[in-house]
Chain A
Amino acid sequence: MSDSVRKLTTSHETRPRIGEGQIAAQQETLPNEIDRRLINAFQGGFPICERPFQVAASALNLDEETLIARIDALLKAGVLTRFGPLFNAERMGGVNILAAMSLPQSEFEQVVKLVNLQPEIAHNYRREHALNLWFVGAAETPEKVEAAFAHIESVTGYPVYRFPKQHEFFVELKLEA
C-alpha cells in the first residue's frame, strides 16, 4: 500500500456501541418505521450521483433533508456502525486474520485492554468457549498483523491461535430491521 496513505482514526471510536448487556437501556433508540425502511433498503445500492440522498430519499418517499438527518441520528445512537462504502481490505492488498485466545477470567479484562489498544485489531468479541476471546487483526501487510499478534503473546504470555481464511464462500446477508 502506498506510503502516502496515512493513518486515519475513524470517528466511530467515540460512538456509543450497543452490546447485549445494554440492550434494555437502548430501547428508546431502537429504529422507528422510517428507519426500518431505510435500513432494509440501503444496506447496499446507495446511489453514486450528484445528489444521492435525494435519489435514495425519493425511493423511500422521504425528502433529502430527512434522510440525512435520520442517518446521522442512527449513527449517533449506535444503531448504525457505519454509513458509506464498505471496503474489502484484501482487494487493496490488505489482510485480515481471525485469531483467538483462551484466557482465565481473572486476567480477561486486562488482556482485552491490551488487545484493544493495538490499532491493527479491528473487531474483538468475547465468546463462550475455552477459546473465549476472538478478534480480527487487519493491516496492509500480513507482517503487521503478525507483529500485533506476537506483541500480544509476548506481553500476556498466552498463545494467540491464528485462523487465517483459506477459502471465502460467497454470501449475501441482509439484516431485516
Chain B
Amino acid sequence: MDATDFALVTACQAGLPLKPRPYHAIAEQLGLAPEDVMARINAMLESGVIRRIGVVPNHYALGYTANGMTVWDVVDEKVDELGEQIGQLSFVSHCYRRPRRPPLWPYNLFAMVHAKTRAQAQAYADQIAAILGEACRQSDILYSSRMLKKTGLRIGD
C-alpha cells in the first residue's frame, strides 16, 4: 500500500458517499482519476485489505438480540483443526484462538454466534459442542447485554 491507498482508506472509512457516482466523488475529493480510484479499490479487495463492500447491518435492529460470545477450552493439539470447522458454521461471525488467562479465564477458542433468541443461540452452541466433542473440557456463553460503543475503523494519529 502506498500513500495514495492510505488517502483512499481515510476518504472511505466513514463510508461511501451516497451519490450516483460515489467513486468519482472520492476521486474528485482526492484529485485522482476515477479509474485509478476504482482500480485501487479493486486491488485492495483482491488483497484482503478490504474485506467486502456493502451494507453492515446492526445486529440488534435485525432482531439478532441474542449475540453470544461462545468460549471453549479446547486441548491445544486440536484447537486449530477444530477452529477451522467451527468458522465454517453459517451462524458464526468471528472465530479466533486466543490466550487463556488462568485461573480467571480457561478458554482458548472464541466463536461469536448471532441468533434471535437465547434458545437458538444455545442450540448453535450445542452444534459447536458436538463438533468439539471430548477435545473440549469446559465452555461458556457470554451474552452482550448492552452495546456501549461501536465505531468504524479509524486510522491516523
Chain A CB within 8 A of B120 CB: no
Which B residues are in CB contact (< 8 Å) with A142? none
Contact indicator B148/A88 (Cβ below 8 Å): no
Contact indicator A20/B153 (Cβ below 8 Å): no
Q: Which of A101-139 contact B (CB under 8 A)?
A: 102, 112, 115-116, 119, 121-131, 133-135, 138
Which A residues are in CB contact (< 8 Å) with B114? 173, 175
Contact indicator B149/A131 (Cβ below 8 Å): no
Chain A CB within 8 A of B144 CB: yes
B72-102 near A? 1/0 per residue, CB < 8 Å: 0000000010011011101111111111010
Contact indicator A82/B15 (Cβ below 8 Å): yes
CA–CA, A81 and B45, complex, Å: 20
Once A81-B56, A112-B148, A173-B91 are accepted as A-B contacts, the answer to whether A4 and B3 lie under 8 Å apart by CB is: yes
Contact indicator A64/B20 (Cβ below 8 Å): yes
Contact indicator B156/A19 (Cβ below 8 Å): no
**Interface of B (DSSP majority class):** mixed
CA–CA, A22 and B94, complex, Å: 25
CA–CA, A20 and B65, complex, Å: 6
Number of interface residues of B (CB under 8 A): 82
Quick one: which of A38, A72, A84, A138 contacts B53, CB cutoff 8 A?
A84
- Residue ID in chain B nearest A144 by CB atoms: B157
Once A11-B14, A92-B9 are accepted as A-B contacts, the answer to whether A166 and B96 lie under 8 Å apart by CB is: yes
Some 25 contacts from A to B, beta carbons below 8 A apart, are A8-B154, A8-B156, A19-B60, A23-B63, A26-B61, A39-B55, A43-B52, A45-B52, A53-B20, A64-B20, A68-B18, A81-B56, A85-B41, A87-B9, A87-B13, A98-B110, A116-B149, A122-B151, A123-B151, A134-B142, A135-B148, A163-B99, A164-B99, A167-B96, A167-B97
Interface residues, chain A, CB within 8 Å of chain B? 1-13, 17-21, 23, 26, 29-31, 38-39, 42-46, 48-54, 64, 68, 71-72, 74-75, 77-89, 91-92, 94, 98, 100, 102, 112, 115-116, 119, 121-131, 133-135, 138, 140, 161, 163-173, 175-177
Interface residues, chain B, CB within 8 Å of chain A? 1, 3, 6-7, 9-10, 12-16, 18-24, 34, 38, 41-42, 44-45, 47-65, 69, 80, 83-84, 86-88, 90-99, 101, 104-105, 110, 114, 140, 142-157
